[in-house]
A and B are shown apart, each in its own frame.
Chain A
């Protein structure tokens, strides 16, 4: 079977990893800029093409209204859910959005799965370029505390990107896999994963059996809206207030300036991970410079409420696993935000042991995803992962109460069966409302799906329909029903409350292929422009050399004409034209290159182009 890669689709950065055939070790794949981190930023160019990653991140400063970051925060959520986020993030949401949000980039609207699909497609292309083969299957990680709708949205993103997601793996579990392989850990392990936008805590038991190693998740907890972004937002609020007070300058309502400030503050935050003091310096549009010394102590006090918020889920997960902090043998830190010293010391103090940080916290989840991908690819393995569902599954009963049918932390796949009948004579439909969450009332839980069981008219209480609710190994709900009187299997049309239906996904897939073609053109254009810059500057340099002066005037004029036409073509977006002009200039400068080479190390350089000399 074809290769399966591992992908960490993160809030801030995304990565793709594979298993090296020689070393059998997982490795992250670098992108065109040499880094393995692909910023989870997507930008829509004025000409309609899509830019992803580092190039898009740079556009946050120049074209913030065409660029989006942290879209993971919006996955699987409805318009009503994200009002709080909108106060802090410059998301421009379609005012007509209801159950599926649409975000505006320039003058076009996209759903969060479509934007995530652009990121997946980018990573797919990194992997294909690096491995030299077509990549069509992936294991993708999600926060352990993601609910059904958020998982479904991630799977949809894969479909739109033309990538089959063979398994969704929980991020802390993936990290445990990578560490287990690396450190040969055994016993009870706690994984504390604080990323850009999400927090997870998972408690695992690592068991050696005669068949191999089992990674059994005992309990998981978390907060899908808690992360480094929240630290950035606190810093922003603090500094904006100071700027307003000291300089009378208002930052909000100025997207470019806000992004500049965000960038400066993130840099200061990173600085404070290593140093006791950072100096925030920020030039203001009125020419003044805002300067503020910022100590680690001040920073710690600022972010303590956020760190404290993570400890509630930590305690809850331990309680569910029936373990005391002292019974945890290993603690693993995952996610870039765990570089923060206050987090390290808080976790260390709570568990009474030094946490593992040996593996790069940015890469470890992707590495674990590659390990799981390899297990699935081979079908048989000496490693087995037993994960759990983070939230209880329930159904609404009379009076808006919820009856729990699969408890949280149940090992998945897990199922529950319920039998339904009618309450009045000749009733032809029974409404079922499926929910996820720990609260007792339906209105406080997350609505997953509503559907109607159809029955033939009969006296009340006579129909008997068995409904099977199954949470699969991805943590996604499947429902099937069987009429016990007729033996008929019902296929249930489950309309996800916060999902996109299949025809929509089809349309998005088609559109994304169009974008992919534009992506290709965009990439070609960038490369052609870079190449022309190199040859233009080399030509100019050569013409100014003493050897350049030896050139006959008509050749010199020909070169100058070629330079002018190439310069002109670079301003356009036709990469084929630029390539032709580059070739022309190369031909026009052949003689000049020869002259230069004669004067230099003649023998070694013969036959090379001017830009290479």
Chain B
């Protein structure tokens, strides 16, 4: 088996909806536009058409659906934007622990091991469970913090897009926002994985 290298970007999903590359999207307007384009592009309209038209409908409607699916989800949207801007590579989210989290992660893994052991040997689970539940709460809280920071940085990014549109040179801010977004996204997916793992053990 071979691993994919880089996610190839062939279309600009923002352009599909005639949107600037901004992270704040009005969801109702996005949905309306999606439905409107679906009427035009869906393969159902081209069953009796020639091969070329059918092919084009299939390509364009799948592109529309891919674009809508990606932009509708806030996290997918950030990740996609970064890919489009050349700031992110596929597989990057499989990161090592952020240094400031190392200690907590170490403790968490220890608790998880103990719980698995206790489960296998029929030991007392109540204390371990309680410890893991409080760890989960802690990481959930950190997740909320990351989301808050992501939201703020997304606003900064959007501001650079607006500024650029009005002719300002904001190259520095732009690059800074991108690399901060990238960092936050990695941190988020790392913590998210931790939470999922803990939840699996607690089930």
Query: A: which residues have CB within 8 A of B?
Result: 1, 166-167, 207, 209, 211-212, 214, 216, 375-377, 379-381, 384-386, 395-398, 403, 407, 410-423, 430-433, 464, 466, 470-473
Contact = CB atoms under 8 A, between A and B. Distances in A.
Nearest to A375: B44
B43 A411 contact: no
Please indicate which of the listed interface residues B8, B68, B69 has the most CB atoms of chain A within 10 Å of its own CB. Answer: B8
A211 B42 CA distance: 13
Interface of B: 1-8, 10, 35-36, 38-39, 42-49, 58, 61-63, 65-66, 68-69
Contact of B44 (A209, A381, A403, A470): A381
Given A211-B36, A379-B48, A417 B7 contact: yes
A410 B69 contact: yes
A386 B42 contact: yes
B195 to A, nearest CB: 17
Contact of A415 (B48, B62, B68): B62
Nearest to B57: A413
29 contacts: A166-B47, A167-B44, A211-B39, A379-B48, A380-B45, A381-B44, A381-B45, A384-B39, A385-B44, A386-B42, A395-B4, A411-B65, A411-B69, A412-B62, A413-B43, A414-B62, A414-B69, A415-B66, A416-B66, A417-B10, A418-B4, A419-B7, A420-B5, A431-B2, A432-B1, A433-B1, A464-B5, A466-B8, A473-B42
A167 B4 contact: no
Given A379-B46, A386-B38, A413-B62, A421 B69 contact: no
Given A216-B35, A419-B8, 8 more contacts: A167-B47, A211-B36, A377-B47, A377-B48, A410-B66, A411-B65, A418-B4, A464-B5
A407 B73 CA distance: 13
A422 B2 contact: yes
Determine the main DSSP class of B at the interface with A.
Answer: helix
Contacts of A412: 62, 65
A413 B2 contact: no
A472 B58 contact: yes
Nearest 10 pairs between A and B by C-beta? Answer: A413-B62, A418-B4, A415-B62, A411-B65, A376-B47, A473-B43, A430-B2, A211-B39, A1-B48, A419-B8
B68 A411 contact: yes
Contacts of B3: 397-398
A417 B6 CA distance: 10
A148 B58 CA distance: 18
B197 to A, nearest CB: 12
Given A209-B36, A384-B38, A396-B1, A413 B44 contact: no
Contacts of B49: 379
Please indicate which of the listed interface residues B2, B7, B8 has the most CB atoms of chain A within 10 Å of its own CB. Answer: B2
Contacts of B63: 415
Contacts of A414: 62, 65-66, 69
A431 B66 contact: no
